[in-house]
Amino acid sequence: MPEIVYREAIKRGLEEALESDPRVFMMGEDIGEYGGAYAVTAGFLKKFGPERIKDTPISEQAFMGAGIGAAAGGLRPIIELMSISFSLVAFDQIVNMAANLRYMSGGQISVPMVIRAPTGAGVQLGATHSHSFETWLAEVPGMKVVCPSNSYDALGLIRTAIKDDNPVFFAEPALLYGVKGEVPDEYYEIELGKARIARAGSDITLVSYGYGMKLVEAAADGLSLVGVSAEVIDLRSLNPLDMDAVVASVQKTHRIVVVDSARRTGGIMAEVAAEVQQRAAEWLDGPVMRVGSVDVPWPYSHGLEQKVLTDADDVLAAVAEGYGL
Amino acid sequence: MFLIREFELACGENYGKGFIRGFLHLYIGQEATGVGAISALGDNDYIVSAYRDHGHALARGVDVNRAMAELFGRATGLSKGKGGSMHLFDAAKGFMGGHAIVGAQLPLAAGLALAQQYQKTDGITMCFFGDGSTNQGVYHETLNLAAVWKLPILFLLENNGYGMGSAIERVRAGGSDFYPGLATYGIPAVEVDGMDVLAVKEATELAVRNIRAGGGPQFIEAKTFRFVGHSIADGQRYRGRQEVEEWEERDPVVTFPEILIKMGLASEAQIDKIKAETTAVVENAVKFAEESPNPDPSEIFTDVLA
């Protein structure tokens, strides 16, 4: 099967949508002339023209709101935030407008839009540029939140996200843009809200998403060397959250470690842990173990940042602590 | 204007009776601005409003019964009782809300205008906002964006002199006049007497013509005044009675009929008849709302996602 990097997978999905649906257009900071801060939209301006590839002023509230208005007016905008960290500046528009409009209007207005944003730490951008707010946004009713971990899922999910009639927040781990993965030439889509069993196993369930999948897959490799068979689950979607897949796995393995490369406290894995406890406590042989990055602002210095960012060793330590494996 | 005044008075009364709860911001005193401006629009145009939205919705022709039922939180309301006073919507009429975070409606309106520009309709978007919202960053962001993209949008500032209890002079560098200070964004701006319904209509018609001709965004500052508190809970300790009384002398609901009679365009009997009809319409709306059922609990879960 052909391999393409994560960035190319998303780019392919965007291009297909721009080619096939005239209502689809893009807005964002430096997505046109510059080609996108992470080069996802390189060449788009030339191919699709300035009416459909719109460079915006550095005004996150204004262009986020304009995207929501354009969606309410019958278009299907794709908004690129240069970083998920900048979503904070537009949070009012995302939460109060995009997610609420349909409910507040009693179903009269829909907001079919995709908000794309690179997410996560690990490239020494310091405390203001290393956030993972997909875990905050997952709490907001009225919108969907996805975060693919590989090229195949990125293409399959961006296709369905653009076709969805709701606001979809599409978080792209910045550390994955250059990572290769297999993507077939044949067309496929991936339903939003469905987790993926990345690896079947019988002894312990490891759950993560996005960049965290690198850690749990490495940990699963390590466990297999000592004869422990780990089942690895990629949530892919944080809202809707596919708890059925997680619970079914726990019923099989009786052990679980939940892993987030974002900060440990208060994130989506706290939600997963609580749901597992409530729905599958009697199946568990030990505590639901939670692994995440250290609860401090992200430091700049490489050595410090790597110590704060959780890794596969932390996952193995949790497996040992919780279950003695 | 009679309809809006009667509707708002009925809202106040029914708030007192406990039928309407939450925040309630009445449009009393500002009727001439909403009516004059919206009368200049066509069917393909959008209207976006803030939280003081009843007057705009009614001026657009939204169903009076369903508007009142929404305030009562009933199943027959415009949004099935899920929006309330600050969030009135009637998408079929291009009335795209009622938005309650100060200034947040501005980029939404710009986006609707962007859709109109993109789809090459001849529609425009009219965005109402108050003087209080002009100190939000998003106001400046949106004016700039609209100017850069030459969006078909009419910014309609209702300057009633107060952001809740803060007189605009106390919170804005540059004083209480807006339109001369807009040159930086290059958007043509005019000031109009917001208590004069015909003046507002005329200024709006001109602005709308300019926008439809491809002239990009336009800005109207309507100088107006609310005769009542910011919300139903407001005791108005921040301003003197005399200021209110001076403005009340220019009450459009009184002065406009006087002009019509003086000019021989309407008789006192005709005006009285319209008034009586309007009163009946609002009484009927209150009755409709009161008799309407509460939303079924199952409605909690509908309209969350498309």
Quick one: pLDDT band at residue B20, thresholds 50, 70, 90?
very high
Residue B106 at interface with chain A, using a CB cutoff of 8 Å: yes
pLDDT beyond 90 at A188: yes
- Res. B179: pLDDT tops 80: no
Q: State yes or no: pLDDT of A219 exceeds 60.
A: yes
- Which residues face A207 on adjacent strands? A233, A258
* Closest CA–CA distance from residue B150 to any residue of chain A (Å): 12
Residue A278 has pLDDT above 70, yes or no: yes
Domains along chain B?
A: 2-290 (3.40.50.970)
pTM: 0.96
pLDDT of residue B113: 98
Phi, psi of B64 (to 5 degrees): -65, -40
DSSP A81-125: PS-GGGGGGGHIIIIIIITTHHHHTTTS-----EEEEEE---SS-
Query: Does residue B183 carry a pLDDT above 60?
Result: no
Q: For B136, which residue in chain A has the nearest alpha carbon?
A: A61
Predicted confidence at residue B233, as pLDDT, reads 86
Section B153-175 average pLDDT:
91
Closest chain A C-alpha to B306 CA, distance in angstroms: 6
Are A115 and A169 in contact by the 8 Å Cβ rule? The answer is yes
3-state class of B8 per DSSP?
Answer: helix
Compute the mean pLDDT over every residue in chain B, rounded to the nearest whole number. 95
Q: Look at B115 and A74 and tell me if their CB atoms are within 8 Å.
A: yes
Residues 6+ apart with CB under 8 A from A58: A29
pLDDT at A262 over 80: yes
Q: Model confidence over B30-41: pLDDT tens digits?
A: 999 999 999 999
Coil vs helix vs strand at A323: helix
**Cα(A81)–Cα(B139) distance, rounded to whole angstroms?**
20
Q: What is the pLDDT of residue B180?
A: 72
Residue A122: pLDDT above 80? yes
Q: Do A190 and A147 meet the contact criterion of CB atoms below 8 Å apart? A: no
Confidence of residue B173 (pLDDT cuts 50, 70, 90): confident
Measure CA B47 to chain center.
9
Q: Are strands B162-163 and B125-130 parallel, antiparallel or unpaired?
A: unpaired
Rounded mean pLDDT, A292-315: 97
Instruction: Return the half-sphere exposure (C-beta side, CA atoms, 13 A cut-off) of residue A143.
Output: 29
A176 at the B interface (CB within 8 A)?
no
pLDDT tens profile A69-93 = 999 999 999 999 999 999 999 999 9
Decide if the complex's ipTM is over 0.85: yes
Chain position carrying tokens 């007192």: B16
Whole-angstrom distance, CA of residue A302 vs CA of residue A291 = 21
Q: Dig out the tokens for A76 from the structure.
A: 């299907």
Nearest partner of A272 among A301, A233, A309, judged by Cα: A233
DSSP string, B64-92: HHHHHHHHTT-TTSTTTTSS-TT---BGG
pLDDT interval class at A11 (50, 70, 90): very high
Q: Is pLDDT above 60 for B133?
A: yes
Write the pLDDT tens digit of every residue in B81-125: 999 999 999 999 999 999 999 999 999 999 999 999 999 999 999
Chain B hits for A72, CB-CB cut-off 8 Å, are: 96, 108, 111-112, 115
SS3 content of chain B, % helix, strand, coil (to 5): 50, 10, 40
Catalytic, out of A8, A29, A60, A134: A60
What pLDDT score was predicted for residue A248? 98
The size of the A-B interface in CB pairs under 8 A is 146
In chain A the domains, ranked by start, together with CATH numbers, are 3-182 (3.40.50.970), 196-323 (3.40.50.920)
Is the bond leading into B152 cis (omega within 30 degrees of zero)? no
Q: Quick check: is A321 catalytic?
A: no
